[in-house]
Amino acid sequence: MEILVCVKRVPDTSENEISVAGDGKDIQRDDLVYSVNEWDNYAVEEAIQIVDRAGGNVTVVTVGGDDSEEILRREMAMGANNGILLKDDAFEGSDGKGIATILKAVAQKSKYDLILTGAQADAGAAQVGGMLAAMMDLPYASLVNKIEIIDDKKLKIGREIEGGNQEMNEINLPCVLSIQTGINEPRYVGIRGIRKVASVEIPTYGAGDLGLAASAVGVAGAKVKKIDYFVPVLGDGAEMLEGSNEEIIAKLIELLKAKGGLK
Ligand SMILES: Cc1cc2nc3c(=O)[nH]c(=O)nc-3n(C[C@H](O)[C@H](O)[C@H](O)COP(=O)(O)OP(=O)(O)OC[C@H]3O[C@@H](n4cnc5c(N)ncnc54)[C@H](O)[C@@H]3O)c2cc1C
């Protein structure tokens, strides 16, 4: 099975204090530590496990700058066979539709049986996977937390639905799936693995190579415009509980009892 996994370089929330930048248009990006989007890492692990069972290749692709090469190499050290970097000044400022347009162009350069994205990334839009599927006219399932191969034409997939319930579906290949965390346990990537792929060539494609008009992507193609970023003011009645976990739990139980939420 030929599998394409879309991966994004994002600020690592376990390593950074995230704050809003002075101009209110973005987060403060100076000195941030970046890593691969957590959901995408699960997607790559799942793709590697599928190829271990069914044969084939895993290709990881990202839309980003030179810095994004580092996450492609990390995922290749994990076991992905190939990496592709999509880089062009024209891609900067792309909205979700722009990113999906770029990914569609590279997906159509080869024949993939399965395309995986993360369920969401740092901007939290959760739109790229669904848009990519719609643009490619492929079947799509979101929040996938289980994949079984039925045959070379069909997969059985599980989806996490409201209230912790589970849904099972059959889906035709080729298809696009957005992967939920917890679907597997991503393997550890050691420094030896990273060194092994350090000099592997990673092809880079720009708008021209992908046959994309600059007006379809980037700021020029964006139809959604970010106009403000801010931390909401605490509303009346909102209360931040402080202290150790035990102290917070005790205060929360006290509050819930006082307000009739707990008997
Ligand atoms: C006007 C405008 C300007 C913007 N300018 C920038 C900018 O300059 N730089 C910037 O980084 N962002 C920019 N963004 C945000 C960027 O467009 C979003 O990151 C993008 O829409 C994806 O949204 P998300 O992170 O919520 O992804 P989601 O839709 O939540 O992501 C789902 C999945 O899609 C895939 N995916 C998402 N992004 C990528 C990617 N880049 N490469 C490969 N796979 C991907 C991953 O598999 C991911 O798990 C801008 C947005 C707008 C509206």
Residue 160 lies in a domain: yes
Runs of H (alpha helix) within 108-244: 128-136, 191-196, 218-221
Ligand 1 contacts CB of residue 237 (under 6 A): no
Residue 226 lies in a domain: no
Tell whether 126 and 210 lie within a shared domain. Answer: yes
Residue 15 lies in a domain: yes
Contact 118, 178 (CB under 8 A): yes
CA of 96 to the centre of ligand 1 (A): 5
Tens digits of per-residue pLDDT, 148-159?
999 999 999 999
Query: Which atom of ligand 1 lies nearest, measured to the CA of 117?
Result: 47
CB atoms within 10 A of CB 160: 19
Tell whether 98 and 129 lie within a shared domain. Answer: yes
The H or E element spanning position 49 is: helix 38-54
Tell whether 201 and 253 lie within a shared domain. Answer: no
Ligand 1 contacts CB of residue 94 (under 6 A): yes
**CA–CA separation, 36 vs 71, rounded Å?**
6
**CA–CA separation, 218 vs 98, rounded Å?**
6
Name the pLDDT band for 259 (thresholds 50, 70, 90). Answer: confident
Residue 198 lies in a domain: yes
Tell whether 15 and 48 lie within a shared domain. Answer: yes
Residue 120 lies in a domain: yes
pLDDT at 234 over 80: no
Name the pLDDT band for 31 (thresholds 50, 70, 90). Answer: confident
pLDDT at 221 over 80: yes
CB atoms within 10 A of CB 231: 7
Tell whether 205 and 253 lie within a shared domain. Answer: no
Q: Specify the range with the lowest mean pLDDT, choosing from 53-67, 78-92, 245-259.
A: 245-259
**CA–CA separation, 166 vs 141, rounded Å?**
13
Residue 229 lies in a domain: no
* Mean pLDDT for the stretch of residues 216-220: 96
* Residue 58 bridge partners (DSSP): 3
Residues 6+ apart with CB under 8 A from 30: none
Ligand 1 contacts CB of residue 126 (under 6 A): yes
Tell whether 124 and 249 lie within a shared domain. Answer: no
Tell whether 240 and 189 lie within a shared domain. Answer: no
**CA–CA separation, 63 vs 5, rounded Å?**
12
First to last CA, the chain: 55
Residue 227 lies in a domain: no
Tell whether 260 and 155 lie within a shared domain. Answer: no
| Structure tokens that stand for 240 in this block | 């931040």
Tell whether 257 and 209 lie within a shared domain. Answer: no
Question: Cα torsion at 32, 71, 98, 114 (round to 10°)?
Answer: -150
Ligand 1 contacts CB of residue 65 (under 6 A): no
Tell whether 132 and 10 lie within a shared domain. Answer: yes
Pocket perturbation via mutation, ligand 1, pick of 32, 40, 70, 99 by most ligand atoms within 8 A of CB: 99
Query: Which atom of ligand 1 lies nearest, measured to the CA of 64?
Result: 41
Tell whether 239 and 214 lie within a shared domain. Answer: no
Tell whether 161 and 261 lie within a shared domain. Answer: no
Residue 118: phi and psi, rounded to 5, are -80, 160
Residue 25 lies in a domain: yes
∠ CA 32-39-9, nearest 5°, is 35
Percent of the residues in the chain that have a pLDDT greater than 70, as a whole number: 100
The tally of domains found in the chain comes to: 2
**CA–CA separation, 64 vs 85, rounded Å?**
7
Tens digits of per-residue pLDDT, 81-116?
999 999 999 999 999 999 999 999 999 999 999 999
Query: Which atom of ligand 1 lies nearest, measured to the CA of 131?
Result: 29
Residue 17 belongs to a domain with what CATH number? Answer: 3.40.50.620
Question: Cα torsion at 211, 216, 220, 221 (round to 10°)?
Answer: -150
Residue 251, domain extent? 234-263
Q: Is the peptide bond before 174 cis (omega within 30 degrees of 0)?
A: yes
pLDDT at 38 over 80: yes
